[in-house]
Amino acid sequence: IEPALNEVGRRWHAGEASIDQEHFTSAFLRARLAAMFMAYSAQGDEPMILAACPTGEWHEIGLLMVCLFLARRGQPVRYLGANLPAHELAVLAETLQPALIILSAQSAATAEHLIAALQAVQRLRPRSPRCAYGGWVFTMQPELRARTPGTFLGTDARAAAAVVRQLLRPSSDEEPTRAGQLLP
């Protein structure tokens, strides 16, 4: 799916594909991925993940693929979709206390919203969740990673899911609780 999406995006930018072709392809793939994600959604004892795109970001397919890879392995993921305001993410993080929050941005403008959202989450006390992020802009402009709190997940969905699994492994000084959350 990723190579197909990249090719459609490349063709649209080059004027070889129309916006309606790009939108149709994206809508078709988003619907299929969402159906598969719902089929695999888990509610186990594993640590919960919140996943979203920040304010202004509507390109969610890459993040949805990461969530699908995680759900297929039994990881509980609350997929919140596109255009989630930072203050809403902070409220959810405080209420649900996920082990990890994943955000995705594709442009420099939405990367700034992503950075602000992760900074807001990291200010939560007494325990802020781990944070991770990804998206095209962080691959094309790696200098943004230095200003972004959390862990960069890599350049593709499969690699991102592997990094997430590593992040959620308890270290020797952490023990999982009954709810699957990690205690410091």
Alpha-carbon distance 52 to 135, whole Å? 12
User: What is the separation of C-alpha 96 from the centre of its chain, rounded to a whole number of angstroms?
Assistant: 17
Alpha-carbon distance 4 to 24, whole Å? 13
Q: Mean of the per-residue pLDDT values for the chain?
A: 88
Q: Report yes or no: 130 and 184 within 8 Å, Cβ to Cβ.
A: no
pLDDT tier at 164 (50, 70, 90 boundaries)?
very high
Instruction: Give the pair of three-digit tokens for residue 112.
Output: 């700034």
Alpha-carbon distance 87 to 116, whole Å? 10
- Collapsing DSSP to helix, strand or coil, 173 comes out as coil
pLDDT at residue number 182: 35
pTM for the structure as a whole: 0.86
Alpha-carbon distance 184 to 2, whole Å? 36
pLDDT at residue number 89: 95
Q: Tell me the residue length of the chain.
A: 184
Over the stretch 16-62, which tens digit does the pLDDT of each residue have? 999 998 889 989 999 999 999 999 876 767 889 999 999 999 999 99
Mean pLDDT calculated for residue range 56-79 = 94
What phi, psi does 112 have (nearest 5°)? -65, -40
Around Cβ 176, how many Cβ atoms within 10 Å? 15
- Residues 6 or more apart whose CB falls under 8 angstroms from that of 99 comprise 47, 48, 49, 129, 130, 168, 180, 181, 182
Q: Which residue has the higher pLDDT, 181 or 112?
A: 112
DSSP 55: T
Share of the chain above pLDDT 90, in %: 70
